[in-house]
Amino acid sequence: MRFINADIYQAGREATRVGERQPWSDRLASWAMGVIALTPALVLLGLLGYLLWSSWPIWQWMGWRFFTDTRWALGNLYGHPVAIGGWQVMPGAAYGALVFIVGTALTSLLSLLFATPVAIMVAAATTFVLPRRWRGLLAAVVETMAGIPSVIFGLWGFTTVAPVVTHAVAPWLNRVLAPLPFFSGPVESQTNLLVAVVVLTLMIMPIIAATSRLAMENVNAAWVEGAMALGFTEWEVFRHVVWPKIHSGILGAMILGLGRALGETMAVLMVSGNALNVLPQNWFSPVSTMAATIAGQLDSALTDPSGMAVRALGALGLVLFGITVLTNLGARAAARMALSAGPHSSAEWGY
């Protein structure tokens, strides 16, 4: 969103410069609203500060092992705390997040891989293929799916997708993909990586589709009309006129979808199997993500008298916070690249 109007809204600033001061009411309003306008930045800083403060002992104690260890244990909660590096830690406790980091990366990247082609086809269908009067409505319906609460996707995944995947899809996949190491193997639990990926795919697809659709509509209409006049079919218009102009738009859409997948909590918590201490052996293994672990483990972490378990979840939160901030900045950069060519105002793009 570019604040093009801001200059016009400040018409009269020149008058101010000639010597006429803004009346006191305006100066007061400008000052008060200006302070309030700092809120988003302050909330962001507050979140970062709290996460840093909360997780500080974990970084001092575990250091890089936080990223490389697979063991996540509260230790003996009835033992005497031991002092490590100036912090009280329960005996036997260890906080290594590798399982959750791997789980987050696998679920979000695999679901991105599956969701992107479907989303591009959905966006193309609602821009090119459908009869014109259906396009807007169906695009709206698909994009509304992005607004369905994630816990409902979790409910559906838990009750419907999980049994179907484990009892029907998994045996078939095992027959077809038998020799492949990661994509076949014993089905260890009904909620597993594959179920999480299927549910996440369906959750992030509408987001990617909505943003891709904006990129497609941003392509210069004259080129499309010219190509149609030359006798291009819909496919040829899409492939040779639209597609070359929307690479960065699609990239931005994918990064937005990835951001949602990385931070998704409830749906993953309900369908991923909540693995602890074990890395996934194949895509039928239970996994767990950072976000789901924070939600699922906070209850038991509160029973740790040394408070380290809660701080370890804060460390997970900090990593997650950092990753999602970076993905969002990446999406902005990609969207800006996409915009530099298009005729639309950035206001409609959302960036």
Partner 1 sequence: MEFGPRGMFSSGVLGGARIEARRRLARVLFQVGGGLALMLALGTLGLLVFNLVKGAWPAFRWSVLTTTTQGTGGGLANALLGTLWLGLLTTAIATPVGVATATWMTVWGRRHAQGILLASDILAGVPSIVFGYVGYLAFVLAVGWGFSALAAAFTLGMLVLPYVVRNVAQALQQVPYQLWESAMALGFTRIRAIWHILWPQAGPGILTGVVLASGIAMGETAPLLYTAEWSQNLPSLALTHHAVGYLTYVVWAFIQEPYPSAVALAYMAGLLLMLMVGSLALWGRLRVTVPRGRGGFSLPRR
Rounded Cα gap, residues 83 and 307, in angstroms: 13
18 near partner 1, rule: CB under 8 A: no
33 near partner 1, rule: CB under 8 A: yes
337 near partner 1, rule: CB under 8 A: no
Among 18, 37, 64, 86, binds partner 1 (CB under 8 A): 37
The residues pairing with 88 across neighbouring beta strands, listed in sequence order, are: 83
Distances (CA, A) of 257 to 252, 324, 343: 9, 11, 25
233 near partner 1, rule: CB under 8 A: yes
38 near partner 1, rule: CB under 8 A: yes
Q: Tell me whether residue 131 or residue 181 sits nearer to partner 1 (CB atom).
A: 131
| Contacts of partner 1 in 255-294 (CB under 8 A) | 259, 262-266, 269-270, 291-292, 294
Question: Closest separation between CB of residue 181 and partner 1, Å?
Answer: 29
83 near partner 1, rule: CB under 8 A: no
| Contacts of partner 1 in 127-146 (CB under 8 A) | 127-132, 135-136, 138, 140-146
253 near partner 1, rule: CB under 8 A: no
Rounded Cα gap, residues 111 and 73, in angstroms: 29
Secondary structure of 178-232 in HEC code, one letter for each residue: CCCCCCCCCCCCCCCHHHHHHHHHHHHHHHHHHHHHHHHHCCCHHHHHHHHHCCC
333 near partner 1, rule: CB under 8 A: no
252 near partner 1, rule: CB under 8 A: no
| Contacts of partner 1 in 296-315 (CB under 8 A) | 298, 310, 313-314
- Residue span 178-217 as binding mask against partner 1, x where in contact by CB under 8 A, dash where not: ------------------------x--xx--x-------x
Q: How many CB atoms lie within 10 A of CB 346?
A: 15
Handedness of CA 108, 110, 114, 117 (dihedral sign): positive
97 near partner 1, rule: CB under 8 A: no
116 token code pair: 């992107």
Q: Tell me whether residue 185 or residue 207 sits nearer to partner 1 (CB atom).
A: 207
Q: Tell me whether residue 30 or residue 68 sits nearer to partner 1 (CB atom).
A: 30
Longest CA–CA separation in the chain, Å: 83
Torsion over CA of 308, 312, 318 and 321, rounded to 10 degrees? -130
Q: Nearest CA to 79 among 69, 71, 67, 88?
A: 88
